[in-house]
Each structure stands twice: as C-alpha cells, then as structure tokens.
C-alpha cells in the first residue's frame, strides 16, 4: 500500500486526517468507484471547518466559492492565504482578514 506524505486531504464532499499519512491506493480505488471521497472512512474523517483552521504556512482554498466566512476567517492560522478559487471568502471574512493583516 502506498502512503501519502500529506496528513490532510479533502474534496467538496469529505475531509480526512491521519497524522501517519493517508493510504493513496485505497483513496484512489474509492474515488474511482464512487467519484468522490465521501464515505471513505469514519476513522479518519475530519470536519471540513477543522481542515481550514489547522496551522499552515500557506492555505490555498481553491475549490469552492465562499468557504471562508467571517467566523472561520478569525480562526485561520496561516501566514499566507492564497485564494485559488473565485471568491473563496465572503465580504464579511474579507473585513476580518483586513483587520488582522
């Protein structure tokens, strides 16, 4: 089995965390069969909001619009927020982020 060096992985349906790394072969087989990460594992499931609130050097929200609202903006622990999606922050989150910059 191949293990990913990444401890965190998510898509628009689910988020997973394992401090030892994630099983790439099993994840690839699951997504090939189901098309998404959802229902891969209950043991390594993580609330997507917790994914964004982890400590990062660089956080790149690149999949969905408006995933970071004002409350989440106040919980971010990243040096750099590199917005890869169109509008990943709400206008209220932008205000919070501008205050902490």
Q: Looking at the structure, do residues 53 and 25 belong to the same domain, yes or no? A: no
Mean pLDDT along residues 51-64: 84
Q: Quick one: pLDDT at residue 101?
A: 64
Band of pLDDT at residue 1, cut at 50, 70 and 90: very low
pLDDT at 49 over 80: no
Per-chain mean pLDDT for the chain = 86
Mean pLDDT along residues 67-72: 93
Q: Looking at the structure, do residues 26 and 60 belong to the same domain, yes or no? A: no
Q: Quick one: pLDDT at residue 9?
A: 81
Bridge partners for 15 per DSSP: 10
Mean pLDDT along residues 1-22: 75
Q: Is the dihedral of CA 57, 41, 70, 83 positive or negative?
A: positive
Q: Looking at the structure, do residues 40 and 66 belong to the same domain, yes or no? A: no
Q: Looking at the structure, do residues 77 and 96 belong to the same domain, yes or no? A: yes
Whether the CB-CB separation of 81 and 97 falls below 8 Å is answered with yes
Q: Looking at the structure, do residues 58 and 89 belong to the same domain, yes or no? A: yes
């Amino acid at each position: 089995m191949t293990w990913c060096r990444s401890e965190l992985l998510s898509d628009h349906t689910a988020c997973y965390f394992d401090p030892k790394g994630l099983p790439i072969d099993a994840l690839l087989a699951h997504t090939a069969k189901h098309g998404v990460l959802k229902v891969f594992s209950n043991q390594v499931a993580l609330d997507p909001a917790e994914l964004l609130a982890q400590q990062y050097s660089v956080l790149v929200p690149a999949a969905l619009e408006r995933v970071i609202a004002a409350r989440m903006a106040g919980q971010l622990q990243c040096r750099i927020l590199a917005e890869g999606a169109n509008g990943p922050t709400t206008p209220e989150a932008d205000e919070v982020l501008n205050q902490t910059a």
